[in-house]
């Protein structure tokens, strides 16, 4: 007899997770609780409830987590100016810790002794879900069907659905995108299909959130972002909730051809993977945040943040949000943001995000010192001579001792 009596399944209502639901019931002879998260993916979630009910599920969780997602996960990540391998804005990575947390919380609420997800054995998401689950509930059992079953093709999945009377919208399946996609308020990702050839250019119809830069308006769009402690709190003077900020920036960025990305990244499991991403709002946020930090952060603090950022990005990409090192890094990052207040003015134009103004009561920019005009003695240029000679001392000694540097 199976030791698993009840499982909480991360459930989308699509083909894969509907099959997983039935497979869990049959394989483990257990009750399944479904959990569907609204992270701003732009899809109607009530059909997931109807399908779960149709399949006999008694406990169904459908939750709007958009506010928590942006406030507690996306915004903290952007305080660090986080990008993975120089380009990727971690749109998928940052959603997984919240889903893992709710899976564990629902397991505790319902008395479930296991959780389950639909991530494959080739990807990063299995790692992210499970590292989070084990960090928050060390004794939890995790069931990953893709690592257990033999339903390793679309044909086998469809045959299983037909055999077990699992409701599938075959008309919709026939028009299904050839790409594997994941969406939330921060981004939409595309993998598979044509993209498995890293030489092939993505097809224009693939993109869903943005116009091409060529098709963007010929006139630029100007926006003004207001920052408090490193987070955007208003757009053009209108105060908004965190998820509303990202929703609006996505629309503004997408309309101006901003946020498309095509990369080959190094997965944590060891393989290289080619993916395409649309992150219009996040692309704006990154550029604007660096602009407001440029006048508010001390030089060494800013440089230290830049040095720590790749480590922070790797921690998030690899699934260690719920780790002591992320907590430590976040504390340092958040401390630096106490002075990151003010406004940034941006020009959005044909795929470009161009800062054209920044102002802050915490600004360290001193016009009297930086001016190319007469500074009235605010800066004694003669001081630079001693500064240069002291910094050159080790170089001069090495040269005098015959050290070759060329």
Q: How far is CA 196 from CA 151, 179, 193, in A?
A: 21, 10, 6
Tell me which residue of 275, 232, 245 sits closest to 88, measured CA to CA: 275
Burial class (CB within 10 angstroms; exposed 0-12, middle 13-18, buried 19+) of 197: exposed
C-alpha span between 235 and 225 (Å, rounded): 5
Which residue in the list 125, 273, 336, 360 is annotated as catalytic? 125
Measured CA angle at 228 (ends 225, 230), to 5 deg: 85
C-alpha span between 47 and 376 (Å, rounded): 70
Residues in Cβ contact with 351 at an 8 Å cutoff, skipping those fewer than 6 apart: 213, 216, 256, 257, 258, 260
Which tokens in the block code for residue 193? 């299909």
Report helix angle 15-28 to 154-163, nearest 10: 60
Residues 103, 322 contacting (CB under 8 angstroms): no
Residues in Cβ contact with 98 at an 8 Å cutoff, skipping those fewer than 6 apart: 37, 39, 65, 68, 69, 72, 73
DSSP state of 339: G
Beta 6-10 vs 114-116: how paired, if at all? parallel
Catalytic site residue 180?
A: yes
C-alpha span between 211 and 214 (Å, rounded): 8
Residues 274, 198 contacting (CB under 8 angstroms): yes
Which residue in the list 96, 128, 260, 274 is annotated as catalytic? 96
Catalytic site residue 336?
A: no
DSSP state of 115: E
**Under DSSP, is residue 224 helix (H, G, I), strand (E, B) or coil?**
strand
Catalytic site residue 150?
A: no
Catalytic site residue 102?
A: no
Which residue in the list 16, 128, 231, 336 is annotated as catalytic? 16
Tell me which residue of 270, 285, 281 sits closest to 318, measured CA to CA: 270
Which residue in the list 49, 72, 113, 180 is annotated as catalytic? 180
DSSP state string for 140-205: -EEE-GGGT-S--SHHHHHHHHHHTT----HHHHHT--SSEEEE-SS-EEEESGGGGSTTSPPPGG
Residues 295, 358 contacting (CB under 8 angstroms): yes
Active site residues: 16, 96, 125, 180
């Amino acid at each position: 007899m199976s030791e698993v009596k009840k499982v909480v399944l991360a459930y989308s209502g699509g083909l894969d997770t509907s099959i997983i639901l039935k497979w869990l019931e049959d394989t483990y002879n257990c009750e399944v609780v479904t959990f569907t998260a609204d992270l701003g993916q732009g899809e109607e979630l009530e059909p997931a409830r109807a399908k779960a009910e149709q399949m006999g599920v008694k406990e169904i969780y459908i939750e709007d987590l958009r506010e928590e997602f942006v406030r507690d996960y996306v915004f903290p990540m952007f305080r660090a100016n986080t990008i993975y391998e120089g380009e990727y804005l971690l749109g998928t990575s940052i959603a997984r810790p919240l889903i893992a947390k709710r899976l564990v919380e629902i397991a505790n609420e319902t008395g479930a002794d296991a959780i389950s997800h639909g991530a494959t054995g080739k990807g990063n998401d299995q790692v992210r879900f499970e590292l989070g689950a084990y960090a928050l509930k060390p004794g939890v059992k995790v069931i990953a069907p893709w690592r257990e079953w033999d339903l390793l093709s679309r044909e086998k999945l469809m045959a299983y659905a037909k055999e077990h009377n699992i409701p599938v919208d075959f008309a919709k399946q026939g028009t299904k995108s050839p790409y594997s996609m994941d969406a939330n308020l921060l981004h939409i990702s595309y993998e598979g299909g044509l993209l498995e050839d890293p030489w092939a250019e993505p097809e224009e119809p693939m993109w869903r959130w943005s116009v091409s830069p060529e098709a963007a308006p010929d006139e630029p769009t100007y926006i003004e972002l207001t920052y408090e402690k490193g987070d955007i709190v208003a757009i053009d003077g209108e105060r908004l909730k965190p998820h509303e900020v990202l929703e609006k920036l996505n629309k503004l960025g997408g309309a101006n051809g901003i946020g498309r990305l095509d990369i080959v990244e190094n997965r944590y499991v060891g393989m290289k993977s080619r993916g395409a991403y649309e992150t219009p709002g996040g692309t704006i946020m990154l550029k604007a945040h660096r602009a407001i930090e440029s006048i508010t952060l001390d030089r060494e603090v800013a440089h230290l943040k830049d040095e720590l950022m790749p480590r922070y990005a790797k921690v998030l990409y690899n699934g260690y949000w719920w780790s002591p090192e992320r907590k430590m890094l976040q504390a340092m990052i958040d401390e630096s943001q106490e002075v990151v207040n003010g406004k940034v003015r941006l020009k959005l134009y044909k795929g470009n995000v161009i800062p054209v103004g920044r102002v802050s009561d915490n600004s360290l920019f001193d016009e009297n010192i930086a001016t190319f005009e007469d500074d009235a003695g605010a800066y004694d240029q003669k001081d630079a001579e001693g500064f240069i000679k002291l910094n050159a001392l080790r170089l001069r000694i090495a040269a005098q001792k015959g050290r070759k540097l060329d």
